[in-house]
Structure 1
Amino acid sequence: MMMKFLFLMIFMVPMSFIKKGFWLNQCLYMLMIFMFFFEFSFGFCFSSLSYTWGVDLLSFVMIMLSFWICSLMILASAGIFKEEYFSNLFLLVMLFLLFSLFCTFASVNLFVFYLFFEMSLIPTLFLIMGWGYQPERIQAGVYLLFYTLIASLPMMVSIFYYYQFNSSLDYFFFFNEVDSLMFYLCMSVVFFVKIPMYFIHLWLPKAHVEAPVSGSMILAGVMLKLGGYGLLRLMVVFSPVALSINFVFIVISLVGGFYVSMICFRQVDIKSLIAYSSVAHMGLVLGGLMTMNYWGMGGSLAMMVAHGLCSSGLFCLANISYERLGSRSFFLNKGLINLMPSMSLWWFLLSSSNMAAPPSLNLLGEITLINSLISWSLYSMIFLAFISFFSAVYSLFLYSYSQHGKIFSGTYSFSLGSVREYLLLFMHWFPLNLLVLKGDYMINWF
């Protein structure tokens, strides 16, 4: 069943080279989403299963998110199409990226997962270095590449070791637990980099600031979730050692989330603020995962989906302002309520979702993760209170500083935005607030 989607993506390669076929590709992505919806199984075990591919609820949600974000990336990148800025090559890179993400999430074998996990790095690098805005994008690309590669080589060795130990790399046969700290660290560090955990997060703000809107969307929407997905899949293998050492990573996540929230107040670049807020939110996800309890696992999935939609939508808004003003600085992006009054509603809706206001899925994820962490230790309440409070503070700071204030740097034309932009933002916000009605699937996935 999975092969039909792989073949669909392979046969879409010639479609990328059709002249003026940019929006046709967008429609095909939407068709693919519609087809994939019918793969949903109401049970919680694997369905559409073959020797190499299969989906359970975790895989299904992640693949759905990948399809959705990749489709919206094309919708957000109309500038590439209008200026004929290698739009055919852009579509090809997008397709390659979606292919690698689909294979990563649909594989039921650890080595196949690792192979495509690494492969998804290449098209992301192409997006940043090919369609980025500033010359610093080369440095950002190098950061992205080397942070991930250095951490992923030990993982490859530990996969071979586990194969020798377990005689199988299929998820179904992960019965033998490995009680080795070295194995745990070698296997997990690449996921910590991807999430990213505080201390090894520096590649993320750099990559976001230099990436085009499509690059930022896929980084925030799906690439950060690869780390959480990998940990959710593999935690069963190293549970004995994880139970004794995980407190270190929980402390780093919570204290790091608090520090990063502080860093958010000092940003003068809109994209940089949204990127640092991603580090704070994913720190909460990592903390919940490391508690290794029911609430933590379910809450981390809900938070990953919520963050993927919300953060991606905020990057779209930042790009809409950038296209009109030519700058992402808070000092220039002032008083946008006067320039683009109809966009202020979207700024408010997505900023409120970012601070986990009801009825967004962020609220469900955050409440569940707070439950998980407080049941692990009451002392975690201190930093959780700070993280929750400051996430509201920097979200309001982002909204109020950009929408209010005097416009002091020249005169700009008034703009109401295009229908495409409203559709783009609606398709981020609507599922984000609709999915909370099916929160039982998120929380009870295992």
Structure 2
Amino acid sequence: MMKFFFMLVFMIPLCLKKNMFWLVQMSMFMLFFLFLNSMMIIMNYCNLSYMMGCDMLSFGLILLSIWICCLMIMASEKLNKYSFYLNFFLMNVIFLMIMLYLTFSMMNMFMFYLFFEGSLIPTLMLIVGWGYQPERLQAGLYLLFYTLFASLPLLLGIFYIYNNLNSMMLYFLKFYDMNLYLLYFCMILAFLVKMPMYFTHLWLPKAHVEAPVSGSMILAGIMLKLGGYGLLRVLIIIQKISLKLNILWIIISLIGGFYISLKCLTQVDIKSLIAYSSVAHMGMVIGGIMTMNYWGYMGSYLLMIGHGLCSSGLFCLANISYERLQTRSMIMSKGMLNFMPSMSLWWFLLLSSSMAAPPSLNLMGEISLINSMMSWSWLSMIMLMLMTFFSAAYSLYLYSYTQHGKYNMSLYSFSMGVSREFLLLMLHWLPLNLLILKIDYFMIWF
């Protein structure tokens, strides 16, 4: 585990030299394939080094992080073209990658908390440094205060556990069961805000709309998954009390997911529609985790990885359209089918994956989550039906609104799309739809 960490650290000097943009990206791809081969799929923690360890849950999420970071660099070619604080941008991406890598591979709970919070700083820099409108400062503050305010109780909870059990190693804590109400809320709140759960989701659409394409990709691709990962790790310590109180979060997530799906249908900004759809998907993930059964566990893991690839790809598409038209308004970006017919195919493919059409990972994840919540209570079916229906509705709404219709007459100069953009979208779509062939790795490992 340490060797990959050092590879990331030694990529930092590359950022300081000129014309290293694509070299850094190639190094990240190399890291991805090395890491992919480093771990044969085994069931328990492996590749143990000082305080670091990796099981299947962290393995998949670290791979996703490296992949999204490569694609972030590829999507931000405009910064390279205009040399817009390029070296600082690359360094920021690598620092973010280091933080994420350490968050997912830590076995010590305090270290996990430290890097969980640390990943906030490079994200904040991305939003404030490379965002588009002046409102990005407000969006950055929202992001910072929402997540920091909720995660201070988590720190106190971790110290309380250490004080009582004299250990903070996640592997040992699974043998204990702390049956305390206050501890339960302390441990869980930070992750629910990070996910984000309905009621605590206000920071997300703001952050997405103001962030540059790389910021949106990392937020949608990885940052929301930190919450799910934390929940899957922490619920082991508070099982008994979770069985009593989890009903609260399931109800909020299901009803909230339905509300947010309706909210998506009223959006006029492409980016904010995709951001709100993330909240609806994460609502399902929270519901699945909180039922605390096998299907929920597997489904949430699957949907997190599927959503990471899918949502990130949609933000790339929104950015490609934004670079051409200089607007994110759906009314202004009508009739794209006339101008970019090939890009329309990618819109269709990624939106169909987003509404869980086969053969995407999202489909398998949603089936598992529906199974999990149905076995918990048949009443959840009502909300689940509405959520899946409206998920298809807003995906089709976004597609038909942006691709069809009469195009804006003020457009006069246009590029149909370059090979870099098509490659970028393909690298989102292929893993999302080909991983279904190895679904057994996701479903039977634990």
Mean Cα deviation higher: 283-292 or 408-417? 408-417
> In the alignment, which residue of structure 2 is the partner of 1:334?
334
- The one-letter code sitting in structure 2 at the alignment partner of 1:110 is M
> In the alignment, which residue of structure 2 is the partner of 1:100?
99
What is the deviation of 1:197? 0.2
What is the deviation of 1:396? 0.5
> In the alignment, which residue of structure 2 is the partner of 1:226?
226
- The one-letter code sitting in structure 2 at the alignment partner of 1:50 is S
> In the alignment, which residue of structure 2 is the partner of 1:424?
424
When the two chains are superposed, the root-mean-square deviation of aligned CA atoms in Å is 0.8
Return the TM-score normalized by structure 2: 0.99
What is the deviation of 1:411? 2.6
Query: Mind listing any 5+ residue stretches in structure 2 that lack a counterpart?
Result: none
What is the deviation of 1:414? 4.0
For residues 100-120 of structure 1, give each alpha carbon's deviation from its aligned partner in whole angstroms, at most 9, with x where no partner exists. 000000111111100100000
> In the alignment, which residue of structure 2 is the partner of 1:185?
185
For residues 351-377 of structure 1, give each alpha carbon's deviation from its aligned partner in whole angstroms, at most 9, with x where no partner exists. 000000000000000000000000000
What is the deviation of 1:171? 1.4
Cα separation, 2, equivalents of 1:331 and 1:42: 48
What is the deviation of 1:409? 4.0
Query: Mind listing any 5+ residue stretches in structure 1 that lack a counterpart?
Result: none
What is the deviation of 1:439? 1.4
What is the deviation of 1:412? 3.0
Question: Aligned pair 1:41/2:53, yes or no?
Answer: no
Cα separation, 2, equivalents of 1:181 and 1:307: 32
- The one-letter code sitting in structure 2 at the alignment partner of 1:131 is W
Question: Aligned pair 1:84/2:83, yes or no?
Answer: yes
Q: Please give the secondary structure, in 2, of the residue aligned with 1:79.
A: helix
- The one-letter code sitting in structure 1 at the alignment partner of 2:440 is D
Q: Please give the secondary structure, in 2, of the residue aligned with 1:183.
A: helix
What is the deviation of 1:166? 1.4
What is the deviation of 1:383? 0.2
Counting only pairs closer than 5 Å after superposition, residues 381-400 of structure 1 correspond to structure 2 as: 381-400=381-400
What is the deviation of 1:444? 2.2
Conserved 8 A contact 1:301-1:443: no
> In the alignment, which residue of structure 2 is the partner of 1:361?
361
> In the alignment, which residue of structure 2 is the partner of 1:73?
72
Counting only pairs closer than 5 Å after superposition, residues 336-355 of structure 1 correspond to structure 2 as: 336-355=336-355
> In the alignment, which residue of structure 1 is the partner of 2:133?
134
Conserved 8 A contact 1:205-1:272: yes
Cα separation, 1, equivalents of 2:444 and 2:231: 17
Counting only pairs closer than 5 Å after superposition, residues 14-25 of structure 1 correspond to structure 2 as: 14-25=13-24
Counting only pairs closer than 5 Å after superposition, residues 140-219 of structure 1 correspond to structure 2 as: 140-174=139-173, 175-219=175-219
Cα separation, 2, equivalents of 1:54 and 1:233: 13
Cα separation, 2, equivalents of 1:145 and 1:205: 14
Cα separation, 2, equivalents of 1:206 and 1:6: 32
Question: Aligned pair 1:261/2:297, yes or no?
Answer: no
- The one-letter code sitting in structure 1 at the alignment partner of 2:19 is K
> In the alignment, which residue of structure 2 is the partner of 1:440?
440
Cα separation, 2, equivalents of 1:275 and 1:296: 23
Conserved 8 A contact 1:314-1:350: yes
Mean Cα deviation higher: 389-398 or 407-416? 407-416
Mean Cα deviation higher: 173-182 or 210-219? 173-182
Conserved 8 A contact 2:324-2:414: no
Q: Could you tell me the percent identity over the aligned residues?
A: 61
Question: Aligned pair 1:53/2:43, yes or no?
Answer: no
Q: Please give the secondary structure, in 1, of the residue aligned with 2:138.
A: helix
- The one-letter code sitting in structure 2 at the alignment partner of 1:356 is A
Conserved 8 A contact 1:340-1:414: no
- The one-letter code sitting in structure 2 at the alignment partner of 1:405 is G
- The one-letter code sitting in structure 1 at the alignment partner of 2:9 is I
Return the TM-score normalized by structure 1: 0.99
Conserved 8 A contact 1:361-1:433: yes
> In the alignment, which residue of structure 1 is the partner of 2:62?
63
Q: Please give the secondary structure, in 1, of the residue aligned with 2:46.
A: coil
- The one-letter code sitting in structure 2 at the alignment partner of 1:318 is A
Cα separation, 2, equivalents of 1:402 and 1:319: 13
Conserved 8 A contact 1:298-1:445: no
Conserved 8 A contact 2:285-2:304: yes
Cα separation, 2, equivalents of 1:111 and 1:24: 34
